[in-house]
């Protein structure tokens, strides 16, 4: 008998009008994700996710207005959430972080509980009561605040703030949360960013129970929680269940719960099997990380893929891309960066500076130029190794061309771009971009140097701002 005190699924949940409205919004969010192309459509990946999801659903009796669906969403932010209609989303960022099927099952178990226990609806009802109170408070303060509000709205400050907030929301939470927030009530954001302390705890506890029932080692739940507590980058917002309650407390609690379970034989779920299933998703996510100022995460994930398949040339090229993307950033954060002061500095860099300005600032720091040079050499080495093994790798020529152009080695950049154009498929979407670069470089180079092909020509100096990130 289980020692867990699992709160049962609310047996007689009665749907009111606001609940049905929330359900409708959840369905609209599903449609919006699909319309935007945010849902991964690979049938193999989807059927595997459905398989794991259905395994932890086990003997779940049917619930009114719930149709469980498990999907991967294209979003580099490490997150997972469930909508009240039973749609469970796991981001590519989270897939790339987890190590095996059992951990994935742990995440799904947690999210399923939010659905079965109707957390969205309960949270929504609670929020609606608070909103009325807020409106009354607003009324009470309106008289005093009218002057200030009028003054603020007279200029463009209010407009600027609102629009900046929208843009910021999108950058912080990702496109998925932005869509949900726009379509739905704040409750939909709560589903994505996290519920209250008690509901998260309930989901953890119930998740452990589901793991045991499904034949997974329940210790995978605290393992997954531990993995989420990663500090490679400055995180502008703490999403998922990383905040309340504290991860360390939850790890301790779920470990205790898992330890209390009777010892039974569990299946073996290896990282290798997991990577074999999700490698395309992880590759997508590495690219997304590179485009979202999460270069260290990209490096870590690419290293993982390469450790799994050291001879894979596409992973070698990807890792080289990641080193190039790091610019003057070290692959791992220093102890200083992890300190409170360091986090504050990183926060400032993230919010105040554009990506190019951030790189410029990093380069101006002691050791910045050396770090940039080291990253570039690692990238160059990676590309050259790939090209030596397979001289038809368009992506390696492309990366090397970008690298050389960043270093102002224009003749060599031109050469690599031309090689890219020679071997790339006609439908390669980078063609136009590279043709334009070739034209620009050809205009700026004397005829003789335009034909230089020596890849070991020493770097002269790097430009102030990296052109391609």
Residue ranges binding other proteins (CB under 8 A): 18, 21, 25, 28-29, 31-32, 35-38, 41, 74, 127-128, 131-132, 135, 138-139, 142-143, 146-147, 149-150, 153-154, 156, 158-160, 162-164, 166-168, 170-171, 175, 178, 182-188, 288, 291-293, 351-356, 429-430, 432-433, 436-437, 467-469
Question: Least Å distance between CB 448 and other proteins?
Answer: 26
Question: Least Å distance between CB 126 and other proteins?
Answer: 11
Read off the tokens for 17.
């009008």
Decide whether 61 or 147 has the Cβ nearer to other proteins: 147
- Please answer whether residues 326 and 375 qualify as being in contact, where contact means their C-beta atoms are separated by less than 8 angstroms: yes
- Please answer whether residues 356 and 249 qualify as being in contact, where contact means their C-beta atoms are separated by less than 8 angstroms: no
Decide whether 159 or 364 has the Cβ nearer to other proteins: 159
Decide whether 142 or 307 has the Cβ nearer to other proteins: 142
Read off the tokens for 398.
């492309």
Could you check whether the bond before residue 245 is cis, i.e. omega within 30 degrees of 0? Answer: yes
Decide whether 163 or 260 has the Cβ nearer to other proteins: 163
> What is the Cα–Cα distance from 310 to 88, expressed in whole angstroms?
33
Which residues, other chains included, contact 234 with Cβ-Cβ below 8 Å and sequence gap of 6+? 343, 346, 347, 349, 350
Decide whether 235 or 253 has the Cβ nearer to other proteins: 235
Which residues, other chains included, contact 345 with Cβ-Cβ below 8 Å and sequence gap of 6+? 337
Question: Least Å distance between CB 152 and other proteins?
Answer: 9
Decide whether 392 or 435 has the Cβ nearer to other proteins: 435
Question: Least Å distance between CB 429 and other proteins?
Answer: 5
- Please answer whether residues 221 and 258 qualify as being in contact, where contact means their C-beta atoms are separated by less than 8 angstroms: yes
DSSP3 helix / strand / coil % (the chain, rounded to 5): 65, 5, 30
Decide whether 190 or 203 has the Cβ nearer to other proteins: 190
Question: Least Å distance between CB 185 and other proteins?
Answer: 5
Question: Least Å distance between CB 362 and other proteins?
Answer: 17
Question: Least Å distance between CB 38 and other proteins?
Answer: 7
Helices (H) and strands (E) in the chain, counts: 21, 3
> What is the Cα–Cα distance from 268 to 274, expressed in whole angstroms?
11
């Amino acid at each position: 008998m289980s020692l867990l005190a699992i709160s049962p699924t609310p047996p007689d949940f009665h749907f009111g009008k606001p609940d049905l409205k929330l359900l409708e919004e959840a369905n609209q969010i599903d449609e919006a994700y699909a319309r935007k192309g945010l849902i991964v459509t690979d049938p193999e990946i989807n059927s595997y996710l459905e398989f794991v999801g259905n395994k932890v659903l086990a003997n779940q009796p049917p619930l009114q207005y719930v149709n469980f669906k498990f999907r991967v969403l294209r979003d580099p932010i490490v997150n997972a959430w469930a909508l009240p209609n039973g749609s469970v989303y796991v981001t590519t960022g989270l897939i790339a972080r987890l190590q095996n099927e059992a951990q994935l099952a742990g995440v799904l178990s947690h999210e399923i509980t939010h659905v079965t226990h109707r957390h969205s609806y309960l949270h929504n009802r609670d929020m609606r009561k608070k909103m009325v109170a807020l409106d009354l408070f607003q009324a009470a303060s309106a008289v005093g605040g009218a002057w200030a509000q009028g003054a603020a709205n007279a200029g463009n400050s209010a407009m600027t703030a609102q629009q900046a907030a929208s843009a910021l929301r999108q950058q912080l939470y990702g496109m998925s949360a932005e869509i949900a927030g726009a379509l739905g009530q704040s409750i939909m954001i709560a589903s994505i960013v996290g519920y209250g302390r008690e509901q998260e705890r309930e989901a953890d506890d119930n998740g452990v129970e589901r793991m045991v029932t499904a034949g997974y080692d329940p210790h995978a739940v605290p393992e997954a929680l531990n993995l989420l507590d990663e500090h490679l980058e400055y995180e502008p917002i703490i999403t998922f269940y990383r905040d309340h309650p504290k991860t360390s407390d939850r790890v301790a609690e779920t470990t205790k719960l898992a330890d209390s379970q009777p010892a039974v034989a569990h299946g073996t779920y290896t990282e290798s099997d997991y990577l074999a299933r999700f490698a395309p998703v992880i590759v997508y996510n590495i690219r997304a990380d590179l485009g979202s100022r999460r270069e260290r995460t990209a490096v870590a994930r690419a290293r993982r893929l390469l450790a799994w398949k050291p001879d894979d040339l596409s992973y070698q090229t990807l890792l080289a891309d990641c080193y190039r993307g790091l610019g003057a950033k070290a692959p791992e954060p220093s102890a200083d960066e992890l300190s409170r002061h360091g986090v504050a500095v990183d926060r400032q860099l993230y919010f105040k500076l554009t990506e190019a300005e951030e790189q410029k600032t990093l380069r101006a720091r002691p050791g910045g130029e050396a770090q940039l040079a080291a990253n570039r050499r690692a990238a160059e080495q990676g590309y050259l190794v790939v090209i030596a093994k397979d001289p038809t790798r368009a992506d390696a020529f492309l990366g090397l061309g970008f690298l050389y152009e960043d270093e102002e080695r224009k003749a060599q950049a031109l050469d690599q771009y031309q090689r890219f154009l020679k071997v790339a498929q006609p439908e390669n979407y980078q063609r136009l971009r590279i043709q334009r670069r070739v034209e620009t470089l050809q205009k700026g180079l004397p005829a003789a140097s335009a034909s230089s092909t020596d890849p070991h020509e020493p770097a002269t100096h790097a430009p102030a701002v990296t052109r391609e990130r």
